[in-house]
Amino acid sequence: MQAAAHRPPAPPPRAWTPPTGTLGALCAAARARADELALSAAALEDAARAAAPGPPFATALRGAPGAPVAVIAELKRSSPSKGAINPGLGAARQALAYVDGGAAAVSVLTEPTRFAGSNADVQDAVAALAGRAPVLRKDFLVDPVQLVEARALGASAALLIARALAPGALRDMAVFARGVGLEVLIEVRDRWELDAALAADAAVIGVNNRDLETLRIDLATGDALVPLIPGDRVAVFESGIVGVGDVARAARAGADAVLVGSAVSAASEPTAAVAGLTGVPRAGRPAAAPTAA
Chain centroid to Cα 164, Å, comes to 14
- 79 carries an active-site annotation: no
From 138, 156, 183, 209, the catalytic residue:
138
36 annotated active-site:
no
Cα(5)–Cα(226) distance, rounded to whole angstroms?
12
Instruction: Tell me, yes or no, if 111 is annotated catalytic.
Output: no
CA-to-CA distance for 79 and 265, rounded, in angstroms?
Answer: 11
From 78, 238, 262, 265, active-site residue: 238
Is the Cβ–Cβ distance between 13 and 190 less than 8 Å?
no
Greatest Cα pair distance in the chain: 52
Active site residue 76: yes
Sequence-ordered strand ranges (E) for 39-180: 70-75, 78-79, 83-84, 105-109, 135-138, 157-161
DSSP 30-70: HHHHHHHHGGGHHHHHHHHHHSPPPPPHHHHH---TTSBPE
* 146, 180 contact by CB (below 8 A): no
Among residues 208, 209, 262, 265, the one annotated as catalytic is 208
Catalytic residue among 78, 156, 209, 239: 239
Of the residues 76, 79, 209, 262, only one is catalytic, namely 76
Identify the active-site residue in 149, 187, 193, 209: 187
Whether 208 is catalytic is yes
- What number of helices (H) and strands (E) belong to the chain? 12, 10
Q: Cβ neighbours of residue 140 under 8 Å, at least 6 residues apart?
A: 23, 26, 27, 29, 30, 111, 161, 164
**Active-site residue identified among 74, 149, 183, 193:** 74
Residue 291's alpha-carbon distances to 3, 198, 230, in angstroms, are 14, 10, 10
Which residues carry out catalysis? 74, 76, 138, 187, 208, 238-239
